[in-house]
Structure 1
Amino acid sequence: MKSARSRAAFALVGVLSAGTLAACGSSSQASDDPTGPVTIEVSIDAGLEQAAIDAFDERIAQFEKANPDIQVETKEFTWSGTTFAAELAGGTLPDVFPIPFTDGRALIEAGQIADISDLVAELPYADDFNPTIAAAGQAADGAMWAVPIAAYNQGLHYNRRLFEEAGLDPDNPPTTWDEVREAAKAIADETGQAGYAHMTQGNTGGWILTTETYALGGRMLEGEGDEVTATVDNEATTEALELLREMRWEDNSMGSSFLYDWGTINQDFAAGKIGMYVSGGANYPNLFTQNQMNPDEYGVTVLPLEGDDAGTLGGGTLAAVSSAASDAEQAAAVKWIDFYYISKLTDQEAAVAEAEVAAETDQPVGAPALPIFDRETYEEQQGWIKDLVNVPLENFAPMTDQMFDQPVIPEPAVATQDLYAALDPVVQAVLTDEDADIDALLADAQVQVQSLIDRA
């Protein structure tokens, strides 16, 4: 569905798939004259509430007033691992669309997104991105083809109401994986809801299993460049799967739904059917705007880190431009990216204007997230909008008090989405077959992932 005034924001997804892709197209009909009128189509989520639509409408109006030669149209686009490759190959994506950190380099190397690096280099903050984050959108020569617009570290999301009903203290969430298991059992026993839930399909099972592996000190890959080898059958992954097996079959604390993806687990969590789950730490805006999460019930904390080299998986989202966009459309697209995604992080007037629109339409203002620049810039931006913040910051405190102190480990650098896809069935097997052989499952996955790496 497309409209000139449509729905706002996009999902901050940790797992998007590039697959085997062809160049994407653009539906805009505009002159190639960079000084003439131009129309661009931008990506937005489906299924948002009217308040979110109204907020986005207002931002478009502000942008068009400041850029009278640019008209913005919108197209609903919510990423799915099963459809993204086809949408890219079919040329049905908008001019501006989100891609994950993990897929940036592959799309750049294949020329499947526009080279907007000269335009990005002219932005005043082009050299100010956190270097680790900037690398996700850069070509091998350092030119930035895609702009980082959001970053995340994984968090443990929990329902404060279910914690209280289970006799747990929502202000003191679990700090070890044993405590996660104990809390999950208490929630299941006392409330009848799933104490802990796990994504399992659309590459999300492998994504979260990798997250749990990192948190226990393991890695899915070793080496760099041409010397990368798979290590998915490591002790930490075995430990993570064994914990899931115990929670599922011994404690009966994981409910009865074992085919969750990112969208469906968000729905059930927001509906109060899940006590805890792991996902990107900046997930609150989606839970609120798309799933009507009760702010008073929401809680989030950092992941328990145990073992040598433990860390939290980090990722994020890049804004890319269609390779079929004309020069004029590319220039307009970068102006939109700057206006809508970045200016609110770097300019006080823009930050306040965006926050005012969001507050007036009852959208989240001030929900914490891992910064794409540095901590100082992030804290300065939060200070600009402090009088407009309308989220319960105290419910985020277990995360924000610790997130800058946790090591952030990038996602596997080679065959990332294929690796995640190969691990989905492993997680599914452990949760659906009481006699699943974890060692055998990981041995098979090890061979499969190594073959994927060898072909990458």
Structure 2
Amino acid sequence: MKSTHRAAAFGLAGALALSLTACSSGSSANDGGDAGSTDGTGDGSGEVAQTTLRVVSLLPGSEQAAIDAFNAQVAEFEAANPGIDVVPEEYEWKATTFAAQLAGGTLPDVFEIPFTDAQTLIANGQLSDLDAQFRTLPYADRFNPAIVAVGTGADGHVYAVPAKNVYGVGLHYNRALFESAGLDPDDPPTTWDEVAEYAKKIADANPGVAGYMQMSQNNTGGWQLTVQTYSRGGRVQALSDDGATATSTINNPATVEALEWLQAMRWEDNSLGSNFLLDWGTINEAFAAGQVAMFTSGSDVYTSMIQSNGLDPAVYGLAALPLGDSPDVGVLSGGTLAAVPAGVDDAVKDAAIAWIDFFYTAKLVDEARAVADAETLVKDNQPVGTPVLPMFGRDQWEQNQEWIKDYVNVPLDQMQSYIDSMFDLPLVNEPARRTQDVYALLDPIVQAVLTDQNADIDQLLTDADTQAQALLDQE
């Protein structure tokens, strides 16, 4: 991957922040042998050529109502596209299993990846070139260019399409647990010191409950430690001005401060509960079950917790991420791209872009599609209106919200702290190089701080810096 495109991807946060402000986020067999299937003659015999398209659906274990809503969307798509047979497959992206799934050809034809993975997968030749298909979208040139750049290769071609959930990390909290500790759920904490203070009060009032908890495994520990670092003005990686080289900066004052903050809550306040091995899926589950009162994650996870974890909307709150006093503070941003594995034929790629248009993106720019999507979801009591950042600019986002206002069924008044700040967030993208490898190095550091009272933070960070730099030097 050429350095210019690395720099473009890393520049997403700044460009996205500027955009948000100025505008007021068959199988995958590598040999192609069974990558989608086409049958029927399509030669005038009266039969329509059929393409089977395997697509990512919902998380494993999702509620039946969510499955019904998804299946209704599939039926609507197939009715409008009689030549495409959609086969939904449950899917959850995990850093520890994704590479093997892709290499083994077990992913669907349309699957989802985080922003951080796109450039490596493109450079490795593991994604199909979707540029020709992408350009057929009538709104292709309306995407935020910085977001499109994340899924664009060094050849200028689009390999992964912006799909959904362009987010800034927020603070998720349980309103009922706030009330149980005498805290006002309409006045969430705005500093990390207040988070610690609230966490202790909640834990003291609710034995066995974590007043606050942080993810720590499957690379999510590193992800959220990076969130903490950014929020205090630090960075875990630095690029040279030309984007050609990267330097690991894991051992920096902001990361040290974040770990010492966790260490104090764990060993002095005893406010972090007893389960110190949570990841994205399990912390959502624990939060929905009332076992965790506060945690940080992307602004969009409310939808998943409703669909998969039985969250009671009445207890949910979303607040802006607390930020320190440094002028370099930032809110980690990210998002989801839709991609197709390398080796599929044009029929599958054509079907894939039709599905991506229908399921992910058209509803953001087309009123009829927005309303139809919202109606289908509301029919099965699925969330409509969860706060995410716009992929087409603030004006388009506001227009979309106007189209679906009669269908919004999420408790926006309980998310107001985040909504009020979302267009002014100092967004910063995730580390540009070896992102998941860096996160994997940070996981055991978070775990050590949570499980070893005598963990040597400076030594742990120094060792991780050395290992991270060795990886970066291999590029």
Q: Contact conserved, 1:24 with 1:88, CA < 8 A, in 2?
A: no
Kindly provide the amino acid, as one letter, of the partner of residue 177 in structure 1.
W
Other-structure match for 1:29: 37
**SS of 1:343 mapped into structure 2:** helix
Kindly provide the amino acid, as one letter, of the partner of residue 38 in structure 1.
T
Aligned residues: 436
The yes-or-no answer on 1:188 pairing with 2:188 is: no
Q: CA deviation at 1:33?
A: 8.7
Q: CA deviation at 1:32?
A: 11
Point out the more displaced range, 23-32 or 59-68: 23-32
Counterparts of 1:244 and 1:23, CA distance in 2: 44
The yes-or-no answer on 1:267 pairing with 2:285 is: yes
**SS of 2:359 mapped into structure 1:** helix
The yes-or-no answer on 1:203 pairing with 2:219 is: yes
Other-structure match for 1:304: 322
Question: Aligned match of 1:173 in 188, 211, 216?
Answer: 188
RMSD (Å) for aligned C-alpha atoms: 1.6
Q: CA deviation at 1:157?
A: 0.5
Deviations 1:341-380 (A, max 9, x none): 0111010000000100111111011111111111111111
Other-structure match for 1:253: 271
Deviations 1:193-238 (A, max 9, x none): 1000111110000000000000000001112422210000000000
The yes-or-no answer on 1:329 pairing with 2:327 is: no
Counterparts of 1:179 and 1:295, CA distance in 2: 24
Matches within 5 A, 1:20-59: 23=30, 27-31=35-39, 36-44=49-57, 45-59=59-73
Kindly provide the amino acid, as one letter, of the partner of residue 218 in structure 2.
G
Unaligned runs of 5+ residues in structure 1 are: 1-20
Q: Contact conserved, 1:23 with 1:113, CA < 8 A, in 2?
A: no
**SS of 1:290 mapped into structure 2:** helix
Matches within 5 A, 1:12-411: 23=30, 27-31=35-39, 36-44=49-57, 45-150=59-164, 151-192=166-207, 193-224=209-240, 225-306=243-324, 307-411=326-430
Counterparts of 1:84 and 1:32, CA distance in 2: 33
Q: Contact conserved, 1:24 with 1:89, CA < 8 A, in 2?
A: no
Q: CA deviation at 1:268?
A: 0.3
Kindly provide the amino acid, as one letter, of the partner of residue 60 in structure 1.
V
Other-structure match for 1:420: 439
Counterparts of 2:41 and 2:283, CA distance in 1: 46
Moved over 3 A (4+): 21-27, 31-35
Q: Contact conserved, 2:151 with 2:158, CA < 8 A, in 1?
A: yes
**SS of 2:392 mapped into structure 1:** coil
Q: Contact conserved, 1:426 with 1:441, CA < 8 A, in 2?
A: yes
Q: Relative to structure 1, is the Cα distance of residues 435 and 24 closer, same or farther in structure 2, using a 3 angstrom cutoff?
A: farther
Counterparts of 1:202 and 1:23, CA distance in 2: 26
Other-structure match for 1:15: none
Counterparts of 2:237 and 2:226, CA distance in 1: 10
Q: Relative to structure 1, is the Cα distance of residues 168 and 33 closer, same or farther in structure 2, using a 3 angstrom cutoff?
A: farther
Deviations 1:417-452 (A, max 9, x none): 000000001100000000001111100011011111
Counterparts of 1:287 and 1:43, CA distance in 2: 18
Counterparts of 2:424 and 2:29, CA distance in 1: 40
Deviations 1:67-108 (A, max 9, x none): 111111112221222211111111011100001100111111
TM-score between both structures, scaled by the size of structure 2 = 0.89
Deviations 1:329-352 (A, max 9, x none): 110010000001011101000000
Other-structure match for 1:6: none
Unaligned runs of 5+ residues in structure 2 are: 1-27, 43-47
Point out the more displaced range, 334-343 or 126-135: 126-135
Q: Contact conserved, 1:24 with 1:112, CA < 8 A, in 2?
A: no
TM-score between both structures, scaled by the size of structure 1 = 0.93
Deviations 1:92-140 (A, max 9, x none): 1110000110011111111101101111012111111122222211112
Q: Relative to structure 1, is the Cα distance of residues 399 and 33 closer, same or farther in structure 2, using a 3 angstrom cutoff?
A: farther
**SS of 2:332 mapped into structure 1:** strand
Other-structure match for 2:22: none
Q: Contact conserved, 2:175 with 2:315, CA < 8 A, in 1?
A: yes
Counterparts of 1:100 and 1:136, CA distance in 2: 10
Q: Contact conserved, 1:209 with 1:237, CA < 8 A, in 2?
A: yes
**SS of 1:108 mapped into structure 2:** helix
**SS of 1:171 mapped into structure 2:** coil
